């Protein structure tokens, strides 16, 4: 049998070694026992998926949140709440203990007496009032004089945001007893209850006589508006 030359023998040996290395590499890459590759870091911040599925990478911004729709296209950006509405939502309503009540100066006209009921935020936080106050005239012993005031029809409530020290006012109006002929009384105080509260604030009444019974004895209230009503 013919002998192979040394060069041919070395070439065959190298080829066999390369084939063996290739086989070992292929086996190592197909199983789960090999060394795990490093995790891939995707750019941006992961935003919650709108359909409850896997989060898709997206860049978060202060004014909008972007998500990926079923078609793979970016959904339209949804604007966030404005700073004003967000602050109002976070503040919550004003509680009686955080407020100071007063009655402003009368602004009479055409036989009507018109007083502003003023609530001032005496707390260190921003809060809100919305709607009608509660009110009742009382004598020196605390007994109520006349029926409960009525709410003025056509008044549309709005949310009034009160920073510390700021005020809101609601109108209290009635016909002058001398003009209407109603039976009058002179209250010692006016009890004022903020919207959605149960506790009242007591204000000394200096506005003179009020109608408590008989003809045109009704007292009316309006919703709160910003300011002091002056």
Second CATH level (architecture) for the domain 91-225: Sandwich (2.60)
The number of helix segments (H) and strand segments (E) in the chain equals: 3, 17
Residue 68 tokens, joined = 């990926």
Residue-level pLDDT at 15: 47
Query: What global pTM score does this model have?
Result: 0.62
Kindly list the domain boundaries of the chain, sorted by start residue.
91-225
pLDDT of residue 22: 43
DSSP calls for 120-188: EE-SSS-EEEESPPEEEEE-TTS-B-SSPPEEPTT----EEEE-TT-EEEEEEEEE-HHHH-PEEE--S
**Model confidence pLDDT, tens digit, residues 137-155:** 999 999 999 999 999 998 8
226 neighbors 163 (Cβ within 8 angstroms): no
Dist. CA 168–CA 119, nearest whole Å: 5
As a whole number of angstroms, the distance between CA 138 and CA 91 comes to 33
Cα(169)–Cα(11) distance, rounded to whole angstroms?
A: 102
């Amino acid at each position: 049998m013919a002998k192979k030359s040394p060069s041919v023998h070395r070439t065959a040996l190298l080829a066999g070694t390369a084939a063996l290395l290739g086989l070992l590499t292929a086996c190592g890459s197909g199983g789960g026992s090999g060394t795990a590759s490093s995790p891939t870091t995707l750019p941006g911040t992961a935003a919650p998926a709108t359909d409850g599925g896997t989060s898709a990478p997206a860049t978060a911004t202060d004014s909008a949140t972007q998500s990926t729709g079923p078609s793979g296209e970016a959904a339209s950006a949804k604007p966030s709440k404005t700073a004003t509405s967000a602050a109002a939502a976070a503040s919550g309503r004003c509680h009686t203990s955080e407020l100071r009540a007063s009655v402003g100066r009368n602004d009479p006209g055409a036989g009507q007496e018109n007083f502003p009921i003023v609530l001032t935020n005496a707390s260190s936080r921003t809060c809100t009032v919305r709607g009608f106050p509660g009110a009742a005239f009382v004598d020196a012993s605390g007994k109520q004089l006349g029926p409960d005031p009525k709410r003025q029809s056509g008044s549309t409530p709005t949310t009034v945001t009160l920073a510390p020290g700021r005020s809101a006012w609601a109108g209290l109006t009635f016909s002058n007893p001398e003009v209407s002929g109603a039976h009058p009384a002179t209250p010692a105080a006016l009890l004022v209850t903020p919207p959605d509260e149960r506790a009242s604030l007591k204000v000394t009444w200096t506005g003179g006589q009020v109608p408590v019974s008989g003809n045109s004895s009704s007292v009316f209230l309006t919703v709160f508006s910003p300011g002091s009503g002056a």
